[in-house]
Amino acid sequence: NADPLITELQDWASYTGVGVDETPYGMPIEYESHVVRRNVEWLTASPISSINFTPIHALDGTITPQGCAFERHHSGAIELRKEDYRLMINGLVDKPLVFSYADIERFPRENHVYFCECAANTGMEWAGAQLNGVQFTHGMIHNMEYTGVPLRALLKEAGADISSDKWVYVEGADASSNGRSIPMEKALDDVLVAFKANGEALRMEHGYPVRLVVPGWEGNMWVKWLRRIEVVDRAVESREETSKYTDVLEDGTARKWTWVMDAKSVITSPSPQQPITHGKGPLVISGLAWSGHGQITRVDVSKDGGITWETARLGKQGDIKALTRFYVDMMWDGAPMLLQSRAMDETGYSQPTKEQLREKRGENSVYHNNCIQTWYVNAEGIAENVEVS
């Protein structure tokens, strides 16, 4: 039968559409309104000190739109005008300085794409398969193109003591005054004082007007609403670097200063929120890979729970410390699959299984779970979060 969508004149082919003056700043078309951040209510005591998740199951490519990039704040997102913004640099410096927002924009700037991953991403999965959706198991991540000033330029401007045993303590302007200590070597390397993401001003929830970008390192260090940089002779050991963001091992001791996010990957489609709906035939398996140590050099995919692996096709050359998209293009015969992906980075590190991680760390680490994820896809194309032997 002929398709009436083709044979009959449709409204949109006859009436006029929306004028250019109706939407000065656009939102996605209403048919995409399900592609939104979501939170998990029982995770935290209050949504003000909480986290939500990027809908990575519904995105492709590598850049995360700001409007659906996950948020985590410890005391709520604040509204801070550029005019009211002050950045202080003090401590072991020749000249303690105060910069206005306008001052920051007068330093030479750089552009870089980096992923930002919360240390707790996949943290709920330590004890077993828990949340049935990649948005919830892996959605504490986003990837944006940042415009900003290298932190070393500001340190230099203030005449900071940049010897290698010094630390830089960074602090936010919100009520939680999140503060983290960064060793000088990293501060001088690739840390950015950023004010734009994906070409436009940062969103309030991502630290407008200025945030820190600490490539490859856990998201908590990317201090938002950055208000102070202090050069110190030792780590401050603030709440967020002692009582939180430390990793308890099986014997009860804990690792501290676990800053780097190790190589990790996940298949975003098919996945529990993104089942196969088209039946047998051509199927695109799509996923994301990243490493805080540098470039993703290879991603392998298994369809049988890790018995055999094939090397996936990368969407494009992996950027350093940024998300890399991978694909496996296959003909699906309708047989059930246990889908897994395994990332390798430029250091030769290969993403471990959950068993390997548990052997080293036990199940109480909360943070830094970069295990291989398994989706069970049944004959109908429905996917579920499982663990396998």
Partner 1 sequence: AARAAELELQIADVQAAATKRAAMPASLTTTAPEPDGGFGLGRAALPEEIAAWDVDVLPDGRGLPEGTGNAFDGEEVFAQKCASCHGDFAEGVDNWPVLAGGFDTLGDKDPVKTVGSYWPHLSTVWDYVHRSMPFGEAGTLTPDETYAIVAYILYSNDLIDDEFELTHENLGTFEMYNRDGFVIDDRSDAEYTEWRADPCMENCKDTVEVTMRSVFLVETPAEGGTESTMNNATADGLPSFTAEGPSFIPAAIPKVEQEESSTDQTEATPAVQQADDGDDTSQLVVAGEKVFRKCKACHQIGEGAKNRSGPQLNAVFGRVMGSVDGFKYSDAFKAAQEEGRVWDDPAMAEFLARPKGFMKGTKMAFPGLKKEADIKAVAAYIKTFGE
Site for partner 1 in 181-200 (CB under 8 A): none
The least CB distance from residue 204 to partner 1, in Å, is: 12
Residue of 142, 166, 228, 264 that binds partner 1 (CB under 8 A): 228
The least CB distance from residue 132 to partner 1, in Å, is: 4
Residue of 65, 183, 275, 315 that binds partner 1 (CB under 8 A): 275
Residue of 200, 253, 278, 280 that binds partner 1 (CB under 8 A): 253
Name the segment binding partner 1 (CB under 8 A); options: 64-72, 97-105, 199-207, 283-291.
Answer: 97-105
The answer to whether 219 and 118 are in contact (CB under 8 A) is yes
Sign of CA dihedral 191, 197, 201, 206: negative
Of 48, 34, 123, 29, which Cα lies nearest the Cα of 357?
123
Site string for partner 1, 339-368 (x = CB under 8 A): ---x-x--xxxxxx---x---x--xx----
The answer to whether 103 and 95 are in contact (CB under 8 A) is no
Q: Which residues have CB under 8 Å from 131's CB, separation 6+? A: 40, 124, 125, 137, 385
10 binds partner 1 (CB under 8 A): no
In this structure, what DSSP letter does residue 356 have? H
278 binds partner 1 (CB under 8 A): no
Residue of 306, 315, 327, 358 that binds partner 1 (CB under 8 A): 306
Name the segment binding partner 1 (CB under 8 A); options: 1-9, 10-18, 32-40, 64-72.
Answer: 32-40
Residue of 251, 282, 316, 331 that binds partner 1 (CB under 8 A): 251
Residues that bind partner 1 (rule: CB under 8 A) add up to a total of 122
In this structure, what DSSP letter does residue 200 have? E
Rounded to 5°, the CA angle 243-246-248 comes to 105
Residues 307-326 that bind partner 1 (CB under 8 A): 307-310
The answer to whether 207 and 225 are in contact (CB under 8 A) is yes
Of 164, 153, 162, which Cα lies nearest the Cα of 194?
153
91 binds partner 1 (CB under 8 A): yes
Residue of 63, 201, 236, 314 that binds partner 1 (CB under 8 A): 236
Name the segment binding partner 1 (CB under 8 A); options: 9-17, 63-71, 229-237, 324-332.
Answer: 229-237
Nearer to partner 1, 201 or 320 (CB): 320
Per the structure block, which two tokens stand in for 30?
């209403």
Residue of 61, 96, 199, 281 that binds partner 1 (CB under 8 A): 96
Q: How many CA atoms lie within 13 A of 18 on its CB side?
A: 7
The least CB distance from residue 19 to partner 1, in Å, is: 25
Reduce the DSSP state of residue 221 to 3 states and report it. Answer: helix
55 binds partner 1 (CB under 8 A): yes
127: left (phi over 0), alpha (psi -120 to 50) or beta: alpha
The C-alpha atoms of residue 247 and residue 250 are separated, in whole angstroms, by 10
Of 371, 291, 367, which Cα lies nearest the Cα of 121?
367
101 binds partner 1 (CB under 8 A): no
123 φ, ψ to 5°? Answer: -65, -30
142 φ, ψ to 5°? Answer: -145, 170
Strand partners, 192: 150, 213
Nearer to partner 1, 200 or 379 (CB): 379
Name the segment binding partner 1 (CB under 8 A); options: 12-20, 65-73, 228-236, 324-332.
Answer: 228-236
The answer to whether 253 and 215 are in contact (CB under 8 A) is no
Of 371, 219, 351, which Cα lies nearest the Cα of 297?
351
The least CB distance from residue 361 to partner 1, in Å, is: 9
67 binds partner 1 (CB under 8 A): no
280 binds partner 1 (CB under 8 A): no
Site string for partner 1, 130-159 (x = CB under 8 A): xxxx--x------------xx-xx--xxxx
